[in-house]
Amino acid sequence: MKSATLNESVVERSSIELKKKGWKRYIIQHRAFYIMLIPGLLYFLVFKYLPLAASFIAFQDYNIFKGFTGSEWVGFKWFEQLFTYDKFGRLLRNTLLISLYQIVFAFPLPILLAVMLNEVRTMAFKRITQTVLYLPHFLSWTIVFGLTYMMLSPTQGLVNHIISSFNGETIAYLQKPAYFRSIIIVSGIWKEMGWNAIIFIAALAGINPSLYEAAKMDGANRWKQFLHISVPGLLPAIMILLMLKTGHIMDSGFEQIYQFLNPATFETGDVLDTYTYRAGILQGQYSITTAIGLFKSVIGFLLLIIANRVSKWTTGEGLY
């Protein structure tokens, strides 16, 4: 009996050693891929995980000269100050509305663009179109704002020149709060629509062509092929990206909004990110800005959990 138990333990140890050697051999064989992962892992470690260690600043009256250990603990003081801030409702409303408009209007367009490009049969035209649509992604928001100003300026803008030619009254679009969110959404669509379509084009390319051929044999037209083949094939990718977008619903896009924002449009354009920049970077209020970041992270995490459950319920797949 003892010998049998001993033999079993020896077999288990040998199998474990073989597995370890197998993993080592696998890593050595594919070391190029693991080396390529190092920059990405370092990025997340330095800019995503290490800053989490300083989250307790939100519960301190942090003083840069006293440091983490010398600063006074104040509990939830900064959260109370944030929630009782007279402009907090405006900041939260603008943040959620801009993010919601981005999901409702900007998110579906890359899907439609990918479907339309997938129907193009002339490869030369398709490649030229894709190149033209991808190009704006590589422009900085400063350049995009400059182009927008050239289009919408009340004195030099193309749009106002057209309005003036019809004896209309020029409009200072960039100084009007009513137009701010629309300008943000439209400029974001123009810049990122082509680039965001890439993943949906890849998802369409992964659909088995025989499904379309079988549908044609059964008499299905293009619309029915889209509904019953393309949409189910795109649904997993759509849900994953929608979950990620939902998790970042409190991030409206600081770079874009900061370029377009001015005191005249604070009413509809000032968001949590821009307020964090003013309070944290310009005024040195590190504790309250950390509290804002922690608040945004908690809300985003809860929304991500809800979106993941919805994805599992609809497609059977999720992030975890």
Tokens of 181: 């969110």
CATH tag for 76-315 (out of 3.40.50.1700, 1.20.1730.10, 1.10.645.10, 1.10.3720.10): 1.10.3720.10
d(C-alpha 103, C-alpha 242), whole Å: 8
d(C-alpha 180, C-alpha 276), whole Å: 20
- Whether 285 and 279 have beta carbons less than 8 Å apart is answered as yes
Tokens of 241: 């990206």
Please list, in sequence order, all residues whose beta carbon lies within 8 angstroms of the beta carbon of residue 92, skipping any fewer than 6 positions away: 272
Q: Cα–Cα distances in Å, from 284 out to 9, 60, 62, 63, 104?
A: 62, 14, 10, 9, 36
pLDDT of residue 18: 46
Residue keyed to tokens 């190149």 = 131
Tokens of 298: 């908690």
Diameter over CA atoms, the chain: 103
- Whether 289 and 279 have beta carbons less than 8 Å apart is answered as yes
Angle at 294 between CA 50 and CA 45, to 5 degrees: 15
> What's the CA dihedral at 263, 266, 272, 274 to 10 degrees?
-20
Crossing angle of helices 108-119 and 231-247, rounded to 10°: 150
Q: How many CB atoms lie within 10 A of CB 260?
A: 18
Closest CA to 287 of 141, 124, 79, 98: 79
pLDDT of residue 173: 92
Give residue 269's region: left, alpha or beta (phi > 0; psi -120 to 50). Answer: alpha
d(C-alpha 277, C-alpha 272), whole Å: 9
d(C-alpha 191, C-alpha 149), whole Å: 15
Q: Cα–Cα distances in Å, from 77 out to 74, 93, 229, 272, 296?
A: 6, 23, 54, 18, 17
Q: How many CB atoms lie within 10 A of CB 14?
A: 10
> In tens digits, what is the pLDDT along the chain, a chain of 320 residues?
444 454 455 445 545 554 555 677 877 887 888 899 999 999 999 988 888 888 889 999 988 888 888 889 998 999 999 999 999 999 999 999 999 999 999 999 999 999 999 888 888 888 899 899 999 999 999 999 999 999 998 888 889 888 888 888 888 999 999 999 999 999 999 999 999 999 999 888 888 888 888 888 888 888 888 888 888 888 888 888 888 898 889 988 899 999 999 999 999 999 999 999 999 888 888 999 999 999 998 999 999 898 888 888 877 777 77
Closest CA to 268 of 288, 252, 246, 287: 252
Closest CA to 183 of 172, 173, 191, 197: 173
CA 286 to chain centre: 25
> What's the CA dihedral at 90, 95, 100, 102 to 10 degrees?
130
What is the value of pTM for the model shown?
0.84
What residue spans define the domains of the chain?
A: 1-57, 76-315
- Whether 197 and 120 have beta carbons less than 8 Å apart is answered as no
